[in-house]
Chains A and B, each alone.
Chain A
Amino acid sequence: MSEKKPVIEFKDVTFWHGGGNEKPAIKNINLKIYEGDYVALLGLNGAGKTTLQLCINGVIPNSIMGDFEGEVIVYGKDTYDTPVREMAKMVGMVFDNPEFQLSQMSVAEEIALGMESLGFSYDEMVETITEVLDIVGLQGLEERSPFGLSGGQQQRLSIAAALAMEPKILVMDEPTSNVDPIGKEEIFSVAAQLNREKNMTVIMAEHEVEVMAAYANIVIVMHEGEILLNGTPEEVFSNVELIQKLGLRLPQVTEYAHRLNQLNLASIKKPYPVTLNSAIERYKDIL
């Protein structure tokens, strides 16, 4: 992976939200994300996850007021001088409150909205709508009102609307925070499937560490606007004390491994296991 060029690169990015904020929302961000990565963004509320994500498609600095320093390069394009609608062809965005992202009379029209803006032909639109509804599992709901769907369905609809524009990167900001447990699972599996089968780069801010440990190949921990940890789930979650000090959760197996060590009941070497399967592998060795 290391010889590849990053598809997203943050170079020393700092952003202050407008309105006289002294403290930057994100500070000195340096980050490289590669094609096909599944990145989990962790951090408390206010850590800067949303701000960082809005930099990827250029909504920051182009549409949100504030002071911006540094450079964000996405597929060779500097977001500073690329219009958001241009970036929209590469970066799909899904936000936390599904209902707040919807506006149209029917599911089909909701998905068509982005394609209309880009001038897709009617036939292309019809074909794409069927295709993306199939991916997110909302087949047959074309004529329904987006506002009559369940939270999980609405969120999958906003994913479909983003996918319709054929992005290479899918940015999701706490996409399951307003969704019931079954809906959550559906969203995680759609994202994982896109990542696996279409090699789509996924950047997800999410509190469900268990799920992220299983799907993500990169975990980033943010705190007060800065990136504190960035690495594989095993590398990152092995920093047990730091993560706990920040008030973030750890995957249960990681926590147990750490506790076993602390109680001198075992000596599990770092990096700790982060998923049940990898834990079973490890414990096999021990036993």
Chain B
Amino acid sequence: MQGIVIPISMVPGNSAIHRMNPLPKLLWTFGILALSFSTRNIAVLGIAFAIGLLLVFYSRITSAYLRVALILFPISLTLITLQSIAPAFPRPWTTIAAFGPFNIYQEGIYSGISLLLRIMAMTTWAMVTIMTSHPSDIFTSLKKIGMPYVLNFILVMTLQLIPILQNEFGTVLNAQKSRAMKGSGFGAILPSMVPVFVGAIERVQQLSISLESRAFGSTGQKSSFRQVRMAFSDYFVMALGFVTTGLATYWVIIDKSLDWSKSMTFSPIFAVSLVLSATIGFLVFVIFAIRAALSA
């Protein structure tokens, strides 16, 4: 009865980051988010990613982190492939190599690397926050700073519903298999979605009656069972995060010398091998994923 696993959930631990209030962690994460979206500078994004990785090691969530990163990273590799031939940059583009019918552009390689680093930096910081905080504590903190009660509930419920629906989906799939129906491929997945979907609707209807019967959604004074306290150190880390990420974001926006898209050049050999390995990396991942999905 306890096979339920939320894919990205808390990894119990006792590191200083675990013990911290979720709010400073969230603030840092949003700060890094803002910084990452404000620059394409490879060095800045790379440093943000590297610090994120250090926090992963420090809080001892490495294996849980890797389980997610090993899916996310290969998928993000497509950014390098796609960007190299069609950069998200204003023309003119500088051709550094031809690759069959495609040209590989200098701006594309730069853009691909920086987008990859941006995604890895943001998700790494986000995972540190999520994997070191009890979800209820995160939600309680958000409620405290004014997130609507109902929105909060929707988040909690969604988090609960995902593994349950996954389970039900698996059950239905198995049932179909044992009735000697085709148990793999899209032909089997589609019909099994229907009972899961119908079940989900029924569940939500029943739940809403049950919640209402427990006075949920009352307009009066509410209280919170989960107690999350802000210690002095939490305020300090929060202020530090605000200043650091704020100043860094400001700096990357105003300092035009950080635009390395033209100045940073790549050799044709490097460009081609990077694009090739990114593409192969992604394809290998896809093959593994399909085989895992079909054999499950």
Contact = CB atoms under 8 A, between A and B. Distances in A.
B136 A125 contact: no
Contacts of B223: 115-116, 119-122, 125
A32 interface: no
Contacts of B156: 103-105
A148 B1 contact: yes
A274 interface: no
Interface string A81-119: 000110011011101010111011110110011111111
Interface in B113-153: 134-136, 153
Nearest to A56: B213
B215 A158 contact: no
B210 A112 contact: no
Contacts of B226: 109
A243 B103 CA distance: 84
Contacts of A97: 206
Scoring A54, A121, A147 by chain B CB atoms within 10 A of each residue's CB, the highest score goes to A147
Given A85-B218, A117-B214, A95 B4 contact: no
B211 interface: yes
Nearest to A148: B2
B75 to A, nearest CB: 29
A158 B225 CA distance: 17
A103 B210 CA distance: 10
B136 A106 contact: yes
A150 interface: yes
B269 interface: no
B221 interface: yes
B206 A114 contact: no
Interface in B152-208: 153, 156-157, 159-160, 163-164, 202-203, 206-207
A100 to B, nearest CB: 4
A84 B213 contact: yes
B222 interface: yes
Given A105-B160, A149-B1, A116 B211 contact: no
B135 A85 contact: no
Interface in A224-278: none
B222 A88 contact: no
Interface in B218-255: 218, 220-227
Scoring B163, B164, B225 by chain A CB atoms within 10 A of each residue's CB, the highest score goes to B225
B1 to A, nearest CB: 6
A93 B208 CA distance: 12
Nearest to A162: B214
A14 B214 CA distance: 25
A57 interface: yes
Given A57-B213, A84-B212, A165-B214, A103 B160 contact: yes
Given A84-B213, A115-B223, 8 more contacts: A85-B215, A95-B209, A104-B160, A117-B222, A118-B218, A122-B223, A125-B223, A147-B164
Interface of A: 54, 57, 59, 63-64, 84-85, 88-89, 91-93, 95, 97, 99-101, 103-106, 108-109, 112-122, 125, 145, 147-150, 158, 161-162, 165
14 contacts: A57-B213, A93-B214, A100-B207, A103-B153, A105-B156, A113-B216, A114-B215, A117-B215, A120-B223, A147-B4, A147-B164, A150-B1, A158-B210, A165-B215
* Ranked 9 nearest A-B pairs via Cβ: A112-B225, A114-B214, A93-B213, A88-B215, A100-B206, A85-B215, A119-B221, A101-B210, A117-B215
